[in-house]
Amino acid sequence: MLRTMFCGLAMVAVALLLVSDASLAQDKKKEVTLEGKITCAKCDLGVAKACETVIVAKKGDKDVTYYFDAASHKKYHGDICTEAKAGSVTGTVAKDGKKMVVTVKELKYK
């Protein structure tokens, strides 16, 4: 009987750990602010076949290109397609294959 209760408590503890890990994964989507050059991946950078809005930001000593998600691209692309602008983007970043994608909450041009 005691052994059965111990096994039951152990299973509850494991279930709680799994639930807390899932909530921690959601917390990892914290907002970040990226500063750099907001531009077009096709027209300015020449790395895409179609227009895509990106921000090229410094991460350490490297330049990292963050692609805007579809809604953010549609909203901001007209401003930068023919002329890159310095600015900052606040939003959440996720990896999509080899690309880093930012969901823009706020964009400010300098």
pLDDT in tens, 4-17: 555 545 454 455 45
Kindly tell me the burial class for residue 42, based on how many C-beta atoms sit within 10 Å of its own C-beta (0-12, 13-18, 19 or more).
Answer: middle
> Of the candidates 95, 92, 87, which has an alpha carbon nearest to the alpha carbon of residue 105?
92
Kindly tell me the sign of the dihedral angle through the C-alpha atoms of 61, 30, 26, 75. Answer: negative
pLDDT in tens, 65-102: 999 999 999 999 999 988 999 999 999 999 999 999 99
Predicted TM-score (pTM) of the model is 0.74
